[in-house]
Structure 1
C-alpha cells in the first residue's frame, strides 16, 4: 500500500503485536484511517463486556488535561487495560502557553501507567495526500504538536489518500474477500467518489453483498448501486435540507438509514457525508461558483464531487445567503458527531434531531472568526 496507508499500517502492526507506546497522536482528518485505527484498538484491548470500565472518551473542550492524565494513571478495578481517546487536542494549543499542562504531560509520560494507552485525536489538521502541499498553518500546527508530544507519543498520520492508493486498497480488499473486482469498476468507484475512502469502503461493502455468491463486481454493478443510489440519495437529502423541507428531509433520512445497518459506523458515516457536502457548499458560496465547469478549480483533489452532482450542489449552495448559515450547519453536525461517539441510547434520534435543526431557519447571531474556523475544522 502507498504512503497514504504507511503510517497507520505501522500503528496497526504495533497494536497486533501488543507493543504499544504509552501514547499516540492520531493527526489528520482522514476519518477512514481514523476509524481503521480505532477499530483495531477496540478489538485488541476493549472487550465488549468491559467497555464501560476500560474505554474513556475525553473531550479537552470539556475536561482538563490534568483530569485525563489522572484517569490514565489510576488503575481500573474492573479491567486489566485502559484505552483513553482524547479528542479536541487543538484546545491544548490555544489561549496561552499551557506550561502547566505540558509539564503534567511530560511528568506522566516519564512514568506512564503500563496498563493504559492515551490516543490524542488531532483532527483539526488536514494532511493532503502530497504532504508538500500542506497548508502553512497546518504545517505549523503539526510541528507544534510534534515538538511537544512527539518525544513521548507515536505520531500516526491520517493523511488523505490519493486515487492510486484508493485503487490499490480496493483491489487488495476485493482479493482478500476472494471477489473479482474489474479494473474499470474499481476505477469508476474511485473516480465517482473522489478518492473519498470512507465512502469507497462503505460502497464496496454494499457491492460485495449485492453480488453475493457471484463474487464478481462489474462496471455495471458500480453504476447501478453507487451512482444511482447512494450519491443521489445524499444530494436529495441535502436538497430537502437546503429547501427547509423538514418532512421530505426526514423521509429521505429514513431511506438512508434503512439502506444501511444503522450501527455506530453507519451513523458516523452519514454525518461525515453531510459535513463534507456542507463544507463543499461553503467553498462554493465563498468563491461564488456559478458554473459547473468552474467547480473543479474551486474544489481541490480528494474534495471534489461526482460530475453529475455539480450543478445540483451549486444550486443548493446558492440557497444559503451567507457563510453564517453554512457554518451553523457544520457546528450542528459537529455537535451531533460528539453525541454519537458518547454512545447515546438512540442513534437514529440523534440524526433525526440534527436533520430537523438543519432544515430549520437559523436564529443565531453572526458567528465570530473562531466559530467559523471550528466549523471548517470539523
Structure 2
C-alpha cells in the first residue's frame, strides 16, 4: 500500500502495542483514513458503556486549548482512560504567534497524564498521493505543525490514495471477505469513483451484500449497482438543493437514508459527499468552468467527479450567484458534521435541517465576506 495506508497502518499497530505516545496529529483531509483511525481508537480505548465518560470531541473554535489540556490532565472518576479528539487545529496557527498556547502544550507533554491520549486533527491540509505535489501553503503549514508538535506527538499522514492503491485495497478487502472480485469490476469501481476511498468503501459494502451467497462481484454488477445508483442519488440531491427545491431535496435525502443503515458512519458519509460536491462547485465557479472538457484541468486527480456527472455539476454550480453562497453552504455542512459527531438524539433530523438550510435562499447576514481558501479548508 502507498504512503497514506502505510502511515495509518503504523498508527494502528501502535494502538495495539505498549509503545503508545501521549499525543498524535492526524494531518490531511482524507476522511476515509481519518475514519479508519478513529474507529480503531474507539475500538481499543473507548468501551461502548463508558463512551460518555472517556471520549471528548473538542473544537478549538469553541473551547480554548487551555481548557482542553486541563480536561486531559484531570483524571476521570468513571473511566480508566480518556481519549480527546481535538478538531480545528488551524486555530492555533492563525491570528498571532500563540506563544502562551504552545507553551501550555509543551508544559502538558513534559508531564502528560498517562491515562489520556490527545489526537489533534489537522484536516485543513491536503496531502496529495504524491507528496512532492503538495501545495506550498500546505507545505508551510505542515512544517509549522512539525516544529511545534512533532517532538511531542506522533505524526500520522492522511494522504490522498492513488488509483493503484485503491485497487489493491479493494482486492485485499474482497479476499479478506472471501469474495471473488473480478479485476475489471474492481478497476471500473475505482475509475468511476475517482479513487475516492470513502465512496469506494461504501459502494463495495453494498456490492458485497448484493453478491450474497454466490460471493462473486462482476463488471456487470458494478455497472448496475454503482453507476446508476450514483447518478440517481447524490447529484440529484445537490441538483434539488441548488434549484432551491426543498420538497424534492427532502424526498431525495429520505431515499439516500433508506438505502443506507442510517448509522453514524453512513450519516457522516453523506455529509462528506455533500461537502466534496460543494467544494467541487466552488472550484468550478471560481475558475469559470463552462464545459466538461475544461473541468478535468480545473479539478485535480482524486478530486474529480465521475464523468457522467460533469455536465450536471457545472450546471448546478452556475446557479449560485457568488462564491460566498457556496462558502456559506460549506459552513452549514461543517456545523452539521460537528453536531453529528456530538451524538445527537436524531441524526436524520440533523441532515434534514441541513438540507432545508442549504435549499433556502441565504439571508444577507449569512453572506459575510470570507476567503475561498477558508471554504476549501472545511
Normalised to the residue count of structure 2, the TM-score between the two structures is 0.98
- Structure 1: 5+ residue runs without aligned partners? none
Change (3 A) 1:277 1:229: same
1:231 Cα shift? 4.1
State how far apart, in whole Å, the 2-side matches of 1:305 and 1:238 are.
13
Counterparts of 2:231 and 2:131 in 1: how far apart (Å)? 29
> C-alpha deviations, 1:297-346, integer Å up to 9, x for none?
11100001111111111111111121111111111101101111111110
Partner of 1:27: 27
- The answer to whether the 8 Å contact 2:80/2:115 transfers is yes
| 1:312 counterpart SS class | helix
Write the distance in 1 (CA, Å) between the matches of 2:114 and 2:27.
23
- Partner residue, 1:341: 341
Is 1:237 the counterpart of 2:240? The answer is: no
Q: Distance in 2 between matches of 1:23 and 1:197?
A: 26
**Partner in structure 2 of residue 61 of structure 1:** 61
Q: Which residue of 1 aligns with 2:281?
A: 281
* Residues 367 and 373 (structure 1), Cα distance of their counterparts in 2 relative to 1, 3 Å cut: farther
Tell me the distance in 2 between the aligned counterparts of 1:104 and 1:282: 38
- TM alignment of 1:122-141, pairs within 5 A: 122-141=122-141
Q: 1:170-249 counterparts in 2 under 5 A?
A: 170-249=170-249
Rounded Cα–Cα distance in structure 2 between residues aligned with 1:156 and 1:291: 38
Q: In the alignment, what sits opposite 2:144? A: 144
Separation (CA, whole Å) in 1 of partners of 2:301 and 2:364: 33
User: What is aligned with 1:367?
Assistant: 368
**Superposition pairs of residues 12-161 of structure 1, within 5 angstroms:** 12-161=12-161
Alpha-carbon distance between aligned partners in 2 of 1:239 and 1:227, rounded to the nearest angstrom: 17
Residues 56 and 83, structure 1, Cα contact 8 Å, conserved in 2: yes
**8 Å contact 1:126–1:159 — kept in the other structure?**
yes
Q: Whole-Å Cα distance in 1 between the matches of residues 136 and 2 of structure 2?
A: 24
Deviations 1:133-165 (A, max 9, x none): 111110000000000000000000000000010
Further displaced range: 251-260 or 288-297: 288-297
Moved more, 11-20 or 166-175: 11-20
Alpha-carbon contact 1:66-1:101 (below 8 Å) kept: yes
Structure 2: distance between partners of 1:285 and 1:103: 42
| Distance in 2 of aligned mates of 1:46 and 1:213 | 34
Count residues with an aligned counterpart. Answer: 377
For residues 324 and 8 of structure 2, what CA distance do their matches in structure 1 show? 36
Aligned to 2:233, what secondary structure does the other structure show?
helix
Q: 2:29, 2:126 within 8 Å by CA — same for their partners in 1? A: yes
Distance in 1, matches of 2:289 and 2:102, equals 44
2: CA distance between counterparts of 1:182 and 1:297? 31
The separation in 1 between residues aligned to 2:41 and 2:189, in whole angstroms, is 29
Could you tell me how far apart the structure 1 residues matched to 2:26 and 2:290 are? 37
- 1:66-95 per-residue CA deviation (whole Å, 9 max, x = no partner) reads 111111111111111000000000001111
C-alpha separation in 2, matches of 1:55 and 1:276: 28
Structure 2 residue aligned with 1:377:
377
Q: What's 2:7 paired with?
A: 7
Tell me if the contact between 1:283 and 1:298 (Cα under 8 Å) persists in the aligned partners. Answer: yes
Partner of 1:369, secondary structure, is: coil
Is the alpha carbon distance of 1:146 and 1:253 closer, same or farther for their aligned partners in structure 2, counting shifts above 3 Å?
same
Partner of 1:301 in structure 2? 301
Q: Distance in 2 between matches of 1:364 and 1:20?
A: 49
What CA distance in whole angstroms lies between the structure 1 residues aligned with 2:364 and 2:45? 43
CA contact (8 A) 1:331 1:374 kept: no
Q: Deviations over 1:108-150 (max 9, x none)?
A: 1111111110000000000000111111110000000000000
Q: Deviations over 1:185-229 (max 9, x none)?
A: 000000000000000000001100111111110001111111001
Gaps in structure 2 of 5+ consecutive residues = none
- 1:375 deviates by 1.9
Measured at CA, do residues 257 and 229 of structure 1 come closer, stay the same or move farther in structure 2, by a change above 3 Å? Answer: same
Aligned to 1:262: 262
